[in-house]
Each structure stands twice: as structure tokens, then as C-alpha cells.
């Protein structure tokens, strides 16, 4: 028994070795929590997918980063035939799309999701589904080699849009045939430097779709291993993201059910099947941990099975953020943790709805809760947040996620996007420093020698509180409050007396920038 205990302790030390050596990751900037889930048609013209629509682009400037929902079929409508500009499916110009994002300093997380029709067709008719696990029918989910087709398209994408300008041209392929006379044709490009982050699938733990679409942690790790580097370079030179661009950051597919046990299962698979690195850490096949969470009745793994959404501070959002960050520190070398889907509906029938509070409409409450979700996750160690989604699917539909858009159909901002735009404009480059207090919550942010504070009443009943902020050495301060329908927050210059400032704090965050 003593020998067994010793082995268990040694194993735990080995798993944690990298975490002990790893430096604490850099504090997140406020703007890192202002991402949005979007599609190519949110940028490109719906009548001519080869050009950027300037009105669409102007609306998208509300957000600092984009999670691009990218269907595999767009890149590979026919097996082994790759297209990017124009894509065979949809006729989109991904080159122009990503170039516009780079010019606007919007980071793009490319999420490669679903399976193309040619792969669906390998399944029996009654099992065909775009959300199936990305393997041809009959292949073992537990074998990394089963995922070679997905890992090949990931290689082609990373080679084109990544940073490696020296990738072997003989490995790169495009379908150079025009769709019709006069149609532009695809040409091989490499190292365009437009994409730094690539995500392997979306919610691979799709338990609601049954075994054909749901991966266990260990099977998803096998998938990630192929996607990451061709299972340690054993599947061919043109397989896996890292073999195309070693600098590209591979993001784990966001989990629908935010379970640290699932990620631990993935880590255990890597330990057994990928071994250890020279420094004693597990050779993991992803660079960012990623999960989804919508605040609602937490009797459901994804929330929202009650009759309304919840303010982030009274939900499980903080507990989950802490669990994932602590798990990363202990088992994954303190790698970044992202929340790539979260948000609220506004339709009164949705179980994820933001609700009217006092004189505030549902849209104003949504704005409060969206901004507070960003602040909550940053203060608990989450490195990036992406909200779902750009536009409403159907504002009149009471179903989950149908009315969660942050932009109106006419490309104007809803209050939630107003608040994000204003906060980013005011102090997007400030980094999180510390937090204190429970009611109100006081977050401190820094930018060089500048200090800023954000105060929030963490309730959802319309209550307020008076708070005395201690600011020794400061003579005055500018108090800013988000304003719906505006490009910037309200501003009030106040005098600080004896190092004390009395602040009236509400459920809409208040921003305080002291002046010496």
C-alpha cells in the first residue's frame, strides 16, 4: 500500500511539474473580454461575397475580437479540393474578410466546425448530420488517424493564413478551376499572417445528439492530437496545424458542458499517448482551454432551463471560472482559459432572457449583464471572452440563443454593444490588476502608471449602494457611466477631498479614472 501511495504521489508531481515551472500568464486587457461570435456574412457583402461590405465592417468595429464560425465545407466542398477565395461553398472571400479584421486590429479565432457533405455521405442515411464527430463512418473515435481529413484541411488553412512564409509549397493545394466563365480562381498562398488562433471544432461534447456526434474526453484528445501536429508528426507532412505554422495557437474546442473532469480526461489521454516533454510536463495537444457557459437555471449543464437568465454574479459563472483556472494551474501549465460562448436573449419567452429591472428594459439589463460578464471573468483569471452573437437569429423566437444578438438588423448597436464599445474606447488597453469587496465589487485596472477603478453592484434587483473609494495622492477623478445610444460614456469631473471619494454604485458598472 505504501508503494502504491508513493507511485500516486510521484505521478501527481509529474503531472504538475510544468505548472510549477510556468510563469504566471500575463494579466488580460479589458478589451480581451469584448469578443463576439460571428460569421463571414457579418463582414462580406451578401450580394457579392468577394468584397467587404463597409457598413457591415463599421458595425463590427464594436468588438475587439471575432470568433469565426467556419464550416469545414466552405474550405473543402469536395474531398481534397481546397478553396479560400472564393470558397466553393457560398462564394466567400476569406482573404478579404481576414485582411479587413487585421486592418481594424480585430483578433480572429477561426473555429473549424461541422463536417462536409462528402463526409456525411459515408454514413447511413439515417445517421447523416453535419454535427457528427469528424471521421468517416466506421472509423474508431479513439484513433488519432481517424481524424486525418480534418487535420489535413487544418494544415492547409494554417499554412495559408498563419505566419510561416517558408512552408513547403509542394504541400499546398487549391482548386484552381473557375466556377463559371470570368470567375476568379483560387491561388496558393502561404504565410499571410492573418490568423494566429485556430479552434478545433465547436462543442464536441454534443450529448444531446447521441453517440455519432458526442466525443468523450479521451476521444476528443485523440481528435485534438491529429489536429494539433498530426499526432506528433506520425500522420504525414501535410497534417496538423503546427506542421504548417508552429507559431499558431491551437484552441481546444469549446465545451458545451463546462466540466473540468472532461479536460482532465483529455490530459490523462495525452499523458498516456503523447508522453512527457523534456521539462517533465505532459505533451498536451492544445494551447488554450476553452468552455461555454450561459447563465440561467443551473440544473441544466448549459443553463437556461428555468424561466430566465441570471446576472453573472448570482450564477455559477464565478465558480466555473475559478475551477477552470485552478485546474489549468495544477494540470496544464497555467495555460490560458477562454470562455468562447456566453450571453443573454431578450425575447420574453426565452429561458436565457435578460429581464426588465425597475425602469430598465430587457435590452438595458442585457447590456448590464454583458458588461458585468466580461468583468467577472477577467477578475477570475479568464483570458478572453466571446459573446454569442452578432445578430439575432430571430428576435420573435422564444427559443434559446435566437434573440441574443448585440447588433440590430439595421447594423446599429444595441445597448450591450454600446457599453462594450464605450468601455473599450475608455480603457480597453488597461490590464486587470486586483479586485476587492463583495457589494459593491471594486476592480482595479492599470495602464503604465495610470490606475482606473470599476465599481459594480452585483445584484439583479435594481438595488444601489453608496461607497467611499479611498484615493490617497489624487486630487480629482473623472467618473464615467455607460450610456445607451452613444459612442462614449457620460463624464463627470469631481474633486477628491482628503483622499476620499463618495460613489453612488448601481447595477450598471461605474468607471473611475483618478487624476493626480
- Is residue 398 one of the residues assigned to a domain? no
- Is residue 325 one of the residues assigned to a domain? no
Helix (H, G, I), strand (E, B) or coil at 492: strand
State mean pLDDT over 23-27. 59
Going by the DSSP 8-state scheme, the letter that residue 183 receives in this structure is -
Whether 304 shows a pLDDT value over 90: the answer reads no
Give the model confidence (pLDDT) of 194-206 as tens digits.
999 999 999 999 9
- Is residue 292 one of the residues assigned to a domain? no
Handedness of CA 156, 334, 322, 31 (dihedral sign): negative
* Region class of 387: left (phi > 0), else alpha (psi between -120 and 50), else beta: beta
State mean pLDDT over 312-321. 96
- Is residue 374 one of the residues assigned to a domain? no
Whether 449 shows a pLDDT value over 70: the answer reads yes
User: Which grid cell is 437?
Assistant: 469587496
- Is residue 105 one of the residues assigned to a domain? yes
Please tell me the predicted confidence (pLDDT) of residue 270: 98
Q: 0.75 cut: is pTM over it?
A: yes
Which among 263, 282, 308 is the end of a domain?
263
Asked if 447 and 463 touch (Cβ cutoff 8 Å), the reply is no
Please tell me the predicted confidence (pLDDT) of residue 26: 75
Whether 13 shows a pLDDT value over 90: the answer reads no
Which among 263, 295, 311 is the end of a domain?
263
Whether 9 shows a pLDDT value over 50: the answer reads no
Whether 243 shows a pLDDT value over 50: the answer reads yes
- Is residue 48 one of the residues assigned to a domain? yes
Q: What are phi and psi of 422, to 5 degrees?
A: -70, -45
Range of the domain at 49: 34-263
Which among 229, 263, 297 is the end of a domain?
263
- Mean pLDDT value across the chain: 93
Listing DSSP states for 203-259 in one string gives -SB-GGG-TTTB--HHHHHHHHHHHHHHHHHTS-TT-SHHHH-TTPEEEPPBBSS--
Distance CA 37, CA 426 (A): 23
- Is residue 354 one of the residues assigned to a domain? no
CA distances from 385 to 227, 259, 292, 352, 373 (A): 23, 17, 10, 18, 9
Asked if 253 and 215 touch (Cβ cutoff 8 Å), the reply is no
Amino acid at each position: 500500500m505504501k508503494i502504491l501511495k508513493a507511485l500516486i504521489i510521484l505521478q501527481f508531481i509529474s503531472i504538475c511539474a510544468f505548472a510549477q515551472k510556468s510563469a504566471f500568464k500575463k494579466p488580460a486587457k479589458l478589451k480581451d473580454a469584448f469578443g463576439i461570435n460571428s460569421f463571414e456574412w457579418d463582414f462580406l457583402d451578401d450580394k457579392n461575397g468577394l468584397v467587404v461590405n463597409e457598413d457591415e465592417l463599421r458595425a463590427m468595429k464594436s468588438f475587439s475580437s471575432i470568433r469565426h464560425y467556419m464550416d469545414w465545407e466552405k474550405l473543402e466542398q469536395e474531398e481534397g479540393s481546397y478553396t479560400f477565395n472564393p470558397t466553393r461553398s457560398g462564394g466567400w472571400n476569406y482573404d478579404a474578410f481576414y485582411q479587413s479584421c487585421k486592418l481594424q486590429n480585430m483578433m480572429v479565432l477561426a473555429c473549424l466546425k461541422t463536417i462536409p457533405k462528402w463526409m456525411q455521405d459515408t454514413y447511413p442515411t439515417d445517421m447523416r448530420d453535419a454535427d457528427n464527430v469528424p471521421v468517416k463512418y466506421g472509423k474508431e473515435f479513439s484513433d488519432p488517424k481517424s481524424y486525418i481529413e480534418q487535420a489535413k484541411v487544418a494544415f492547409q488553412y494554417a499554412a495559408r493564413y498563419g505566419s510561416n512564409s517558408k512552408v513547403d509549397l509542394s504541400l499546398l493545394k487549391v482548386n484552381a478551376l473557375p466556377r463559371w466563365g470570368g470567375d476568379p480562381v483560387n491561388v496558393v498562398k502561404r504565410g499571410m499572417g492573418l490568423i494566429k488562433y485556430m479552434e478545433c471544432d465547436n462543442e464536441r461534447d454534443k450529448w444531446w445528439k447521441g453517440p455519432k456526434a458526442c466525443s468523450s474526453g479521451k476521444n476528443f484528445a485523440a481528435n485534438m492530437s491529429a489536429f494539433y501536429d498530426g499526432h506528433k508528426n506520425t500522420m504525414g507532412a501535410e497534417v496538423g496545424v503546427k506542421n504548417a505554422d508552429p507559431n499558431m495557437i491551437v484552441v481546444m474546442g469549446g465545451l458545451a458542458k463546462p466540466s473540468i473532469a472532461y479536460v482532465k480526461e483529455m490530459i490523462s489521454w495525452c499523458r498516456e499517448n503523447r508522453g512527457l516533454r523534456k521539462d517533465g510536463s505532459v505533451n498536451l495537444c492544445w494551447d488554450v482551454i476553452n468552455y461555454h457557459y450561459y447563465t440561467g437555471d443551473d440544473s441544466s449543464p448549459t443553463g437556461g432551463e428555468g424561466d430566465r437568465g441570471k446576472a453573472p454574479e448570482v450564477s455559477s459563472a464565478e465558480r466555473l471560472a475559478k475551477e477552470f483556472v485552478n485546474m489549468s494551474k495544477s494540470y496544464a501549465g497555467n495555460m490560458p482559459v477562454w470562455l468562447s460562448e456566453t450571453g443573454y436573449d431578450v425575447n420574453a419567452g426565452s429561458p436565457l432572457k435578460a429581464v426588465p429591472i425597475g425602469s430598465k428594459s430587457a435590452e438595458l439589463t442585457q447590456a448590464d449583464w454583458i458588461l458585468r460578464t466580461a468583468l467577472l471573468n477577467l477578475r477570475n483569471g479568464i483570458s478572453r471572452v466571446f459573446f454569442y452573437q452578432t445578430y439575432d437569429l430571430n428576435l420573435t423566437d422564444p427559443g434559446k440563443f435566437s434573440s441574443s444578438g448585440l447588433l440590430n438588423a439595421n447594423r446599429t448597436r444595441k445597448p450591450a454593444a454600446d457599453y462594450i464599445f464605450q468601455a473599450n474606447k475608455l480603457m480597453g488597453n488597461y490590464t486587470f490588476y486586483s479586485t476587492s469587496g463583495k457589494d459593491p465589487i471594486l476592480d482595479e485596472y492599470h495602464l503604465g502608471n495610470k490606475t482606473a477603478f470599476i465599481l459594480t453592484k452585483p445584484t439583479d434587483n435594481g438595488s444601489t449602494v453608496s461607497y467611499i473609494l479611498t484615493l490617497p495622492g489624487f486630487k480629482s477623478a473623472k467618473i464615467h457611466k455607460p450610456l445607451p445610444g452613444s459612442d462614449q460614456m457620460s463624464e463627470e469631473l469631481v474633486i477628491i477631498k482628503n483622499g476620499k471619494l463618495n460613489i453612488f454604485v448601481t447595477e450598471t458598472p461605474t468607471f473611475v479614472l483618478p487624476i493626480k
